[in-house]
Amino acid sequence: MIQLILILAFGVLCLSSLYFLARRSPRAEGGSGPLVEARQAVLALRSGLLPPDLVARIFAREDLEYVQSEVPDNVRALFIDERKKIALSWVNQVRRQILCLRRFYLGSARSYARLSFKTEVELALDFAALLFACRAVLYIRGPFAVPGMVETTAAAATRVCNVYEKSLAFLTPAQLGTLADRSAGPARP
Amino acid sequence: MLTLAIWWACILAEALVLFRAFPGRLLRRYPFFYTYAASVLVSDVFLFAVYVLNPVSYAAWCWRAEFFNILLGCGIILEIFKHVLSRYPGAERLARITGVAVFSAIFCFVLLYPMVTGASRAGAAFAELEKYVALERDVLVAQAILFFAVLAVISYYRTAMGRNAKGMILGYGVWLGASVMTLALRYYIGRRFTHAWNVIQPLAYFTSLLIWAVSLWSYEPSPAFDEPALPEMDHEAVMATTRSAMEAMRSHLTKVVRA
């Protein structure tokens, strides 16, 4: 019976993956698109999303402590709700930019002949775990429960940004404009 | 009657797929695929003749032809490597390693499983047909695992695919997925499922043939590799730092989740 369930589950998985394959665009996410997106993602992360002051402010525990001690329950509930929305919005934006960087990484990796199987699997799992855990922990435990995680995530994302920034340093603003015109999809803000 | 109608429809669709290969000179471009398509057409016509003229020997011929065609079906995976992955050395290398790992795992499983469970002794009690069903199911599951692994690499690295390659993958995947599931059900439920099996599997195959007929109507290769002429990235440096940053994040996340 277990064997049957496993084979049926595998068959369903195969057929559903074909459905997603059928829906995808025939073009690879290659060319200048991911390059431009990666460059813009690095800029967005650096200037708008990852500065330590901003991160500390969004997830500041002192704000919660102040509200808990000074204001009525309904205001406190409203504050927590609003702060959670802001935190989720921040996480979603960081997540989106990290996905852009991952696309760029995969575009570089797929043409690299000496790719290491072990490293690729580890990186794929790390990316997946990170993207999933950021969201899951925030949803389950709220924005104030995990300040350390957010700081570390932001610091690590900053390190990743530094690397990508060096890799993409050859792209001057003029080249960036030309590539953005050439890329098929609309450039991300 | 329904089975016979599907059978004839399949023969016609197979002939159409092969016929369309000539105007677009697809035979030369996809030799493994068309070897498979020609083989199933010849088998189907031959088996139909056997079924009409000498029904007693039909079952024996049917299983031989099935296994031969299943082996030729591996050619479609070779076409995927040739037309989808060959332009991406990194993705191709990963797909190759995954394929070898999958086959090694299956080989080890096939060797070790009977030793651990005594499955071969239990198998001796089965009727001849049941043994064929089990064998065909196992071979198809192995092929499906390999196919799925290659598909996962293609999806993960988002490699470009033309209509021809996409159609080959979709058509073969539909048939493979449906066959694996129906054979598993046939093996588990037994002869009561035979009637449904005789309809579902040919219908899935007919669907695959329709997909192939449409997608291989004319030659449409995978899109050109549109990489801009920019300096080469130092992929190893990017990879190493990304990896160390990910490790740091992962270890911290583990602590947070456990806290």
3-state secondary structure B193-206: HHHHHHHHHHHHHH
Could you give the CA distance from residue A176 to residue A37 in angstroms, rounded to a whole number? 10
Are A117 and B253 within 8 A, CB to CB? Answer: no
CA A102 to chain centre: 8
The tokens for A158 are 């900053």
Mean residue pLDDT across chain B: 80
Q: Strands, DSSP E only, in B129-212?
A: none
- 3-state SS class at B124: coil
Are A14 and B180 within 8 A, CB to CB? Answer: yes
DSSP chain A: -HHHHHHHHHHHHHHHHHHHHHHS-SS-S-TTHHHHHHHHHHHHIIIII--HHHHHHHT-HHHHHHHHHHS-HHHHHHHHHHHHHHHHHHHHHHHHHHHHHHHHHHHHHTT-TT--HHHHHHHHHHHHHHHHHHHHHHHHH-TTT-HHHHHHHHHHHHHHHHHHHHHTTT--HHHHHHHHHHSSSPPP-
CATH of the domain at B161: 1.20.1070
Least confident range from B30-34, B141-145, B226-230: namely B226-230
Nearest residue on chain A to B138, alpha-carbon basis: A7
Confirm or reject contact between B141 and chain A (CB < 8 A). Answer: yes
Q: Which residue has the higher pLDDT, B33 or B109?
A: B33
Mutate to test the interface with A, among B154, B179, B234, B256 (most CBs of A within 10 A): B256
Confirm or reject contact between B232 and chain A (CB < 8 A). Answer: no
Q: B86-107: per-residue pLDDT in tens?
A: 888 888 888 888 888 887 877 7
Least confident range from B33-37, B129-133, B135-139, B231-235: namely B231-235
Are B245 and A111 within 8 A, CB to CB? Answer: no
Does residue B70 lie within any of the structural domains?
Answer: yes
Q: A43-76: per-residue pLDDT in tens?
A: 666 665 566 667 677 777 788 788 878 788 888 8
Q: A138-189: per-residue pLDDT in tens?
A: 666 555 555 565 666 666 666 666 666 655 555 555 555 555 555 444 333 3
Average pLDDT over residues A80-108: 76
Nearest residue on chain A to B204, alpha-carbon basis: A15
ipTM: 0.72
Q: Are A17 and B174 in contact (CB under 8 A)?
A: no
In angstroms, the separation between the Cα of residue A5 and the nearest Cα of chain B is: 9
Does residue B186 lie within any of the structural domains?
Answer: yes
Overall domain count for chain B: 1
DSSP chain B: -HHHHHHHHHHHHHHHHHHHHTTTTHHHHSHHHHHHHHHHHHHHHHHHHHHHH-GGGHHHHHHHHHHHHHHHHHHHHHHHIIIIITT-HHHHHHHHHHHHHHHHHHHHHHHHHHHHH-HHHHHTTS-HHHHHHHHHHHHHHHHHHHHHHHHHHHHHHT----HHHHHHHHHHHHHHHHHHHHHHHHHHH-GGGHHHHHHHHHHHHHHHHHHHHHHTSS--PPPP------PPP-HHHHHHHHHHHHHHHHHHHHHHHH-
